[in-house]
A = this chain, B = another copy of it.
Amino acid sequence: MTKTRKPLIINAFDMGTSGLQSPGLWKHPDDQSAKKDLDYWINLAKLLEKGKFNSVFLADVLGGYDVYNGPRNLKAAINSGAQWPVYEPSLFVPVMAAVTKNLTFGVTFSTVSEAPYHFTRRLATLDQLTNGRVGWNVVSSYLDSASRNTLNGADLPAHAERYERAEEYLQVVYKLFLSSWSDDAVKLDKESGIFTDHEKVREINHEGKFFKVPGPNIVSPTPQRLPVILQAGSSPSGKDFAARNAEIVFLTTFTPESLAGKIEEIKKIAKEKYGREEGSIKFLQLVTTVIGKTHEEAAEKYRHFKSFGDKEGASALFSGWTGINIGQFDPDQELRDVGSNAIRGVVENWTKEAPGDPPNLKKTRNYVADQITVGGLGPVLYGTKEEVADEIERWVDVSQVDGFNFTYAITPGTFEELVNELIPELRKRGLAWEDYPEEGLTFREQVFGTEGEDPSFVDPTHPAYKLRWRAGVSKEDFEASLNETTT
């Protein structure tokens, strides 16, 4: 029974750190994650482009996982190398862009870490350098350890204020990218000597609750006009933020059924509250794969990976992700019963288990930490390439997910397996494209296609759409249209 399939969005998920989702696996003899140097990024980019990956997504945090046995206790994270140290993600993009033509790049930047004017120029430079191959994963940070160091000692603002601030931050970034320079501002007219027409550049004069940014933007319009907006929020504010602004949403859950529910929920808010067009948000699920020639070989490989896992590191990650110090609980206590909504939310759909685990184990903190050591808070699909592809198909059928963020147990080993084993199998089934549709597409064109008037820009139901100063529109007319939009 062959179904008509459309190619999935296939991303690699990496970070400027060793123990991204698999704390302790740097000890595996084939793992190179402890030394992500220039050659690592060059080789990874070439490998992913060879495998026809859409994109590499770079996660980031600017603080350590100090909640476990804390507050402010970094011992487990530091000793185990669980997302510690962490290098700056944006700087890996130019390396990878220099050796590829089609691979695109999603980069995590927090709205807490730097002034939006400064950040906008960094992001615009990435879009310009990569010729439109970049997206921004908007995060508002969840670790006090990050804000403490960047906000002069202050802890993070409360959750709701953080999202309010993030929303205003995004507005400033939109305005700088879209409302400061007209599409036809840059003339490069050698006759008149006009490089940029100063009548086509305006101050944005943003004055809000958190930011005052007069502008004008210091960079000219970039290939995508606005990099693709990515988001991974799973809290109520996060979902709302994603439903309004995101073009790609990252999710992670343990069952396709629960994934389906999350996707539906965000789609509903997007449609009903914000009037977003059907299909204007793509959803990706985090997953780790372990492939073997036989099911048993894959199971054995997975078990072997687990033997390198660091449970203390996993506990540090889990406590940071949930904001709850799980060190306070009995190691053998069922985590669903501990009275934390954050933890119950994570554990409720927990189906993750490694080969050989006895069935129906209690989800104790010990057990959960152990399972996190490979693949973190995402499922691990293991088996032959056909079995894993079957499972991918099941996830797609049940959840209608648009693609996957594939992360590693070991790197580049897991990515090599994807390129050489799983993706060719997905390709056979129509779940991966044969090749990039054409050379040099922008990130947005690769994901949403090249149809329409201006495929490299957001669709008309995106909140940034009307902020764009189009060619041929005078400053007065544009400002009048902006006033209409906001009133």
Contacts and interface: CB of A to CB of B under 8 A. Distances in A.
A62 B121 contact: yes
Interface stretch (A79-87, A363-371, A424-432, A460-468): A79-87
A6 interface: no
Given A85-B220, A131-B37, A27 B91 contact: no
A227 interface: no
A344 interface: no
A201 interface: yes
A88 B121 contact: yes
Contacts of A338: none
Nearest to A126: B91
A95 interface: yes
A159 interface: no
Contact of A62 (B27, B38, B86, B118): B118
Stoichiometry, copies per complex: 2
A131 B94 contact: no
Given A91-B94, A122-B91, A129 B38 contact: yes
Contacts of A37: 128-129, 131
Contacts of A19: 195
A201 B91 contact: no
Nearest to A211: B152
A182 to B, nearest CB: 12
Given A92-B94, A95-B94, A117-B150, A196 B125 contact: no
Contacts of A194: 79
A484 B91 CA distance: 38
Interface string A85-114: 111101111110111000000000000011
Contact of A24 (B24, B78, B153, B193): B193
A64 B193 contact: no
A346 to B, nearest CB: 25
Contacts of A42: 98
Given A130-B38, A214-B149, A16 B125 contact: yes
B94 A188 contact: no
Interface of A: 16, 18-19, 24, 26-27, 34, 37-38, 41-42, 62-64, 74-75, 78-81, 84-88, 90-95, 97-99, 113-115, 117-118, 121-122, 124-126, 128-131, 148-153, 188, 190, 193-198, 201, 207, 211-216, 218-220, 310
In order of increasing CB-CB distance, the 8 nearest A-B pairs are: A81-B195, A153-B212, A78-B198, A117-B149, A94-B94, A88-B125, A115-B150, A94-B95
12 contacts: A34-B188, A38-B130, A62-B118, A62-B218, A64-B218, A85-B219, A87-B121, A87-B129, A95-B98, A115-B149, A117-B149, A152-B212
Given A18-B195, A91-B129, 19 more contacts: A74-B201, A78-B195, A78-B196, A78-B197, A80-B195, A86-B219, A87-B125, A87-B219, A88-B122, A91-B91, A95-B95, A95-B98, A98-B99, A113-B118, A114-B118, A118-B150, A149-B214, A152-B212, A193-B310
